[in-house]
Structure formats: structure tokens, C-alpha cells
Chains A and B, each alone.
Chain A
């Protein structure tokens, strides 16, 4: 079953903050976050592992509540380059079979 993401879309001005939420009905091992720009491949942002470990490539923060099977991605002081569709991909085991949600479209305007 696919995770539920909210909001479906958000429009920000440069410098504003936003939170994207992801909720799963299954017990999770990890949560991945990716950003996809139009016509491009999804790009890895962060993985949050059960137990609290986080690994990311960009200055974007996230949280993972294992008990509630929820994760949130925090876009702080947004930049124009943050525009794109954000997908969460929860995984129920260490092999990382990801069930992506429908995505959250983020538009950052000048």
C-alpha cells in the first residue's frame, strides 16, 4: 500500500519554510526522500533509518517517527532550486524496496 503524502502541492516564496509529511500503514525500517524535477530522474535527498541514523546529501532536514510510521521533510529558507516534486519512499526491510507516494509538488517563486 502506498504511503500518504501531504500536502499535494505547496507554493513558496524564496526564503520561506515548508513541511512535507509522509505516513505509512506498515512498520518501517527506513524512509527515503527524493526530489524529481520535470523530465529528470529522482535525486536522493536523505534516508532515515530505524534507530535514528540519518544519511543525506543536502542541507535538508527530516524526521522519522518509527512508532507512528511517519516522516517529515523540512524545507528551510527555500531556494529556487528546491522546486520539484518530492517523494517519500518508506521501506519495510533493509533491502530498501520502496513504495513511493504520489508526491508533493513544490514551487518556489522569486
Chain B
């Protein structure tokens, strides 16, 4: 049973560029959430998608946007990258909200 798949695993971008991260949820899961985890910190909620709509959003600027496709997979887009956007980006899927999340291994983004 495949869990959550994220791609790419590592990425290096230049300040000001744009990046797209991808996530395939665990089979049977319909809700996808994105988190940003800085080194030594807990994951910070970016936003959550359900039925192709953004259900909830954390305290992140509009430079962070997302999308969910009919097959429940999701993308995270970040525009005008800043050095401070360097972090591990985690995708987590779940079924509705009453069950635990399954996290992917993440995408390590480095902005130089």
C-alpha cells in the first residue's frame, strides 16, 4: 500500500524564482494538507485542500498557492522565492479529519 508520495525530494532555487512541489496522497485519502518545517521546528500549516478547494489556510502570504486535482493529488506553488522559504515541505493526506495524517517524506527546498 503506497503511502504519500512527494516530488522532487530535493530542490535548489534562486531567490525570486518560482517553484512547484507535487504530492500524491495515500490511497483512499481525499484531503491533502501542506506544511512547512524549518530546521529544528515543528511543521507549520500552510493550507488544506478537499474536493479541489482550499478549505483552510495558515498564516502564509499569497505567494504560497496550491491546487488539488480530481484524483486528489496536489501541488504547492511558491512565487518570488525568498531565502527564508528554505525548509522541508511536507504533504499530509487524510480521510476527512477524524483520522491521523499520513505524511510524505517531504521536499527539501533550498533557496540561494
Query: In the complex the two chains form, is B99's CB within 8 Å of A100's CB?
Result: no
Task: Of the listed stretches B10-18, B62-70, B76-84, B103-111, name the one at the interface; the rest are far from the partner chain.
Answer: B103-111
Q: Is residue B20 within 8 Å, beta carbon to beta carbon, of the partner chain? A: no
Min CB gap B62→A, angstroms: 18
Give the number of chain A interface residues (Cβ < 8 Å).
28
**Docked CA distance A51–B48 (Å):** 25
Q: Is residue B21 within 8 Å, beta carbon to beta carbon, of the partner chain? A: no
A53-66 to B contact mask, C-beta < 8 Å, 1/0:
00101000000000
Q: A95-B48, A95-B55 are in contact. Are A42 and B97 (CB under 8 A)?
A: no
Min CB gap B49→A, angstroms: 11
Which of B35, B43, B94, B98 contacts A49 (CB under 8 A)? B98
Q: A41-B103, A87-B43, A103-B42 are in contact. Are A94 and B98 (CB under 8 A)?
A: yes
Which of A41, A44, A94 contacts B90 (CB under 8 A)? A41
A2 closest partner in B (C-beta): B42
Q: Is residue A17 within 8 Å, beta carbon to beta carbon, of the partner chain? A: no
Query: Which positions in B face A, CB cutoff 8 Å?
Result: 4, 31, 33, 35, 41-45, 48, 50, 55-56, 58, 90, 92, 94, 96-106
| Cβ contacts A to B, 22 pairs, < 8 Å | A32-B100, A41-B4, A41-B103, A41-B106, A42-B90, A42-B101, A44-B102, A46-B100, A49-B98, A55-B98, A91-B97, A95-B50, A95-B55, A96-B33, A96-B48, A96-B94, A96-B97, A97-B33, A97-B48, A97-B56, A98-B33, A102-B42
Inter-chain pairs besides A55-B99, A99-B45, A101-B42, 11 sampled, C-beta below 8 Å: A34-B100, A41-B90, A41-B105, A42-B103, A46-B100, A57-B100, A94-B98, A95-B56, A97-B56, A98-B43, A100-B44
